[in-house]
Amino acid sequence: MAAEAQAKATLRADQPGVTISPNIYGQFAEHLGHCIYGGIWVGENSTIPNTRGVRNDVLGALKKLKVPFVRWPGGCFADEYHWKDGIGPRELRPRMINTHWGGVVEDNSFGTHEFLDFCELLGTKPYVSANVGSGTVQEMMEWVEYMTSDADSPMANLRRKNGRDKAWDVPFIGVGNESWGCGGNMRAEYYADQYRKYATYVKNYQPGKSIARIAGGPNASDYHWTEVLMREARNHMQGLSLHYYTLPTGSWSGSKGVGSGFPEADWFATIDRTLFMEELVQKHSAIMDKYDPQKKIPLVVDEWGTWYDVEPGTNPGFLRQAATMRDAMVAAINLNIFHRHAERVTMTAIAQMVNVLQAMIFTEGEKMALTTTYHVFEMYTVHQGATYLPLDIKGPAYVYGDQSVPAVYGTASRDAEGRIHVSLTNVNPHEAVKISVALQGVKAGAVTGRVLTGPSMDSGNTIAQPNLVVPQAFTDAVLKDGLLEVVLPSKSVVALELK
Ligand code: AHR
């Protein structure tokens, strides 16, 4: 048998960084396909077990992820959404066409009350994306008053009439979405002015609380957008968003690459393209540093993840795609990048929560399956709120044809109880890698771990086979002479705890 490839690393626990904000683990839920309808919301009268209309199985699974916030209602949907259509008796709510996502009729049965109730059930914070593209300043201002004012005021009283006495806590408001595209096709200069105007009227009605106003940020590498927004509007924002999707082909026209049964070329390209997030974060952060050297304004990566061709036979507008070990790699690599930039990146949201794009969960009728991405998020919960510890890895390359990327990626943190968590990923789909980690500033007597891997690159869970890839106990890690020695199986994510 061939010897494993070797990697070396140093864990610099004696040089701790900042706290990894739990908000790095946020999620995005749009009125798109079966994310909301069928995925989260089934209504009180459904035969699917639910709590006030929210599916119990999905709720239970999400609770284990400690989801810090949920971004809603879009996405592109947000800039066509008129919130007053989604309040009051459901049977009286007007309908609309969801022009972006399949042209289906939206009956508005899941609206403000349902979303904020879902957040309360899940124990998460709401991040509401408000309509700039086809909305008005008044509409946005009234929505914020409706949700967050406890005064004897028109919108607060309308909320009371609709059954909710107490104001909700809504700590994040997005001011438009992708205003460079589906949110209005604006130029950065124009949006910066629009942003300033809209953001002025996002008022804080609750003394002692705050609302972070998040400006619509750049599309991937549009650095001009960041420059203009920071130059013109930084004093009015508490966050600037960034959207970047990983497409195997890198092309929005034609095939993006299939989600399952893909060739190794697509595996490699997906890893390669997702690594671009590092450059994006670095370059956008560098621009932000010029205007905000103290890093007070977060870079909010509120849409990220894989985007493949839809599952054969599904509605192309519903963005339902397969989930495999490749998605596990992408999830881990991006979370590692966000940890590394935890000073600037304090909030992100993967797209999307259920049944859409790089989903956590699939549902079909009453059935549910947890994806490989779900399992990585679950394995990474230990890093939420922990102290970042630098982990430098020097390792073999994963070579494909005449191209290569590093084979091994990782991140580490120390939690409030002093336990150190090291998460390692080997993207080589064929070979194991043995990694020796020198432990600086670590006192540990024992290591335990779990591993997520599968027999092939496109191993994953489906509704028909929901438990093909689940975390397993991992025993290939030992502590020896100040070193942590681990054999990482091919295409694996390994989560270790040192105590
Ligand atoms: O997540 C799907 C879509 O991708 C969102 O609606 C939009 O913001 C982005 O282009």
Please write the tens of the pLDDT for every residue from 429-455.
Answer: 999 999 999 999 999 999 999 999 999
Looking at residue 3, its pLDDT comes to: 60
Ligand 1: residue whose CA is nearest its atom 4:
75
CB of 30 shorter than 6 A to ligand 1: yes
Looking at residue 1, its pLDDT comes to: 42
The answer to whether the beta carbons of residues 65 and 377 sit under 8 Å apart is yes
Burial track 427-459 (b if 16+ CB lie within 10 A, e otherwise): bbbebbbbbebebeebebeebebbbbbbeebbb
Pick the catalytic residue: 178, 279, 431, 497?
178
Catalytic annotation present for 303: yes
Atom of ligand 1 nearest to the CA of 101: 6
**Distance between alpha carbon 163 and the CA centroid of its chain, in Å?**
32
Ligand 1: residue whose CA is nearest its atom 9:
75
CA of 76 relative to ligand 1 center, distance in Å: 6
- The answer to whether the predicted template modeling score (pTM) of the entire model surpasses 0.95 is yes
CB of 122 shorter than 6 A to ligand 1: no
Catalytic annotation present for 366: no
Ligand 1: residue whose CA is nearest its atom 8:
75
Ligand 1: residue whose CA is nearest its atom 5:
75
Structure tokens at 91: 């049977």
CB of 240 shorter than 6 A to ligand 1: no
Looking at residue 476, its pLDDT comes to: 97
Distances (CA, A) of 9 to 6, 334, 427, 475: 10, 19, 16, 19
CB of 80 shorter than 6 A to ligand 1: no
pLDDT along the chain (499 residues), means of 10: 80 98 98 98 98 98 98 98 98 97 98 98 98 98 98 98 98 98 98 98 95 98 98 98 98 96 98 98 98 98 98 97 98 98 98 98 98 98 98 96 98 97 98 97 95 98 98 97 96 97
CA dist 54 and 353 (Å) reads: 14
| Backbone angles phi and psi of 76, in degrees to 5 | -55, -30
CB of 246 shorter than 6 A to ligand 1: no
